[in-house]
Amino acid sequence: MARSFGGIDLGGTKIQAVIVDDDHKPLGSARRPTPTEGGPADVASEMEHALRDAAKAADIEPSKLGGVGVGSPGVIAEGNVTSARNLPGWEGSFPLAKKLEAALGCPVALGNDVQVATDAEFSLGAGRLYDSLLGVFWGTGVGGGLILDRRPWTGRGGAGEIGHVVVEMDGARCTCGRRGCMEAYAGRGAMEIYARKLHKDKGRKTDLFKLMKEHERTRLTSGIWARALEKHDKLATEILDRAVKALGAGIASVVNVLDVEGVVIGGGLGVRLGHPFAKRIAEEMQPHLFDDAHPPHVHVAALGDLGGAIGASLLLDPDSPAS
């Protein structure tokens, strides 16, 4: 009998759940905001409910699933998630797999959020033609995932931190506290801090914060940035140009060292800004590529917003590189 699987992408802003058939086709999905207060147990409860919503849409009982995979931030080991800094009260360790197994009545596997999204693009998405792939997830932060010789590369467990590649010694302060990281220029979190500073402290004009209020947001979401660009907001354009330039330098650095065949640009901003920006990032990489006659192929993530959750569902698939 064909089995179905669940996948949950646990993000700092939202929890995305999906149910897929054994051909990885989505049967139902659901999304809930990530709790901003409380602790790991509250987050786990929202994850359970998001998965139950998706299962309902797919008309299946969670306990009948072949299993549920979770893509999570933080450090993942033996079913525990530790120091997931973007999540409320999650400085310590929490037995997420055990708790979700008890709540859902099926096996649960955990993986790194960015790596499972990369695995999904490699297996099913924009990277499926390549044997080596760099996934760049451009959102609040900038995360990276690697496929080398058709297998995920995670190092000692901490690989993929492309957001913290140094593009400028003694450069801009990053939200991680360090200086000159790519994410200090390109992360949506850092971009918002920079926009506020230029607007409030330096008196630069922008409609970014007006758009944010009009759309009842509390943060500059990817949609707000996209709308500001459409309206030719000068400050938004400038900050995004700066971000794209940093992405070009940082990604080119990694390509110079690894010489991967393909690069996939995903994440909230990557997917929202889409192909024109993937093309601009490739253009900004070009002057820094050592072997500039053979640039890697650069694509937008083909699985879009669902990629992380579909990638998580692959954790249960014995044929997947991630399992």
Whole-number Å distance between alpha carbons of 65 and 101? 11
Both tokens of residue 178?
């360090």
Both tokens of residue 135?
């996934």
Residue with Cβ nearer a second copy (19 or 186):
186
Residue 84 in contact with a second copy, rule: CB under 8 A: no
Whole-number Å distance between alpha carbons of 196 and 310? 35
- With vertex at residue 218, the alpha carbon angle to CA 10 and CA 174, rounded to the nearest 5 degrees, is 70
Residue 259 in contact with a second copy, rule: CB under 8 A: yes
Whole-number Å distance between alpha carbons of 237 and 40? 37
In sign, the C-alpha dihedral spanning 15, 145, 281, 168 is: positive
Q: Tell me the closest approach of the beta carbon of residue 292 to a second copy, in angstroms.
A: 9
Tell me which amino acid residue 185 is: Y
Both tokens of residue 56?
């309902």
**Are 8 and 34 spatial neighbours (Cβ–Cβ below 8 Å)?**
no
Residue 129 in contact with a second copy, rule: CB under 8 A: no
Residue 254: closest CA among 279, 301, 288, 284: 288
Residue 148 in contact with a second copy, rule: CB under 8 A: yes
**Are 194 and 209 spatial neighbours (Cβ–Cβ below 8 Å)?**
no
Candidate residues 33, 105, 157, 276; the one interacting with a second copy per rule CB under 8 A: 157
Tell me which amino acid residue 258 is: L
Residue with Cβ nearer a second copy (161 or 238):
161
Residue 299 in contact with a second copy, rule: CB under 8 A: no
Residues 220-249 that bind a second copy (CB under 8 A): 245-246, 249
Residue 116 in contact with a second copy, rule: CB under 8 A: no
Q: Tell me the closest approach of the beta carbon of residue 164 to a second copy, in angstroms.
A: 4
Residue 176 in contact with a second copy, rule: CB under 8 A: yes
Residue with Cβ nearer a second copy (80 or 154):
154
Residue 146 in contact with a second copy, rule: CB under 8 A: yes
**Are 271 and 304 spatial neighbours (Cβ–Cβ below 8 Å)?**
yes
Q: Tell me the closest approach of the beta carbon of residue 168 to a second copy, in angstroms.
A: 6
Q: Tell me the closest approach of the beta carbon of residue 112 to a second copy, in angstroms.
A: 12
**Are 51 and 17 spatial neighbours (Cβ–Cβ below 8 Å)?**
yes
List, edge to edge, every strand of the sheet that includes 80-82: 75-77, 80-82, 93-94
Q: Distance from CA of residue 100 to its chain's centroid?
A: 22
Pick the stretch among 11-19, 55-63, 107-115, 160-168 that binds a second copy (CB under 8 A): 160-168
Residue with Cβ nearer a second copy (44 or 285):
285
Residue 101 in contact with a second copy, rule: CB under 8 A: no
Residue 92 in contact with a second copy, rule: CB under 8 A: no
Judged by CB under 8 A, the number of residues near a second copy is: 44
Whole-number Å distance between alpha carbons of 62 and 128? 29
Q: Tell me the closest approach of the beta carbon of residue 113 to a second copy, in angstroms.
A: 15
Residue 178 in contact with a second copy, rule: CB under 8 A: yes
Residue 190 in contact with a second copy, rule: CB under 8 A: no
Tell me which amino acid residue 263 is: V
Both tokens of residue 224?
């707000």
Residue 154 in contact with a second copy, rule: CB under 8 A: yes
Q: Tell me the closest approach of the beta carbon of residue 12 to a second copy, in angstroms.
A: 17
Residue with Cβ nearer a second copy (92 or 157):
157
Binding site for a second copy (CB under 8 A): 132, 144, 146, 148-149, 153-162, 164-169, 176, 178-181, 245-246, 249-250, 252-254, 256-261, 287-288, 290-291, 294
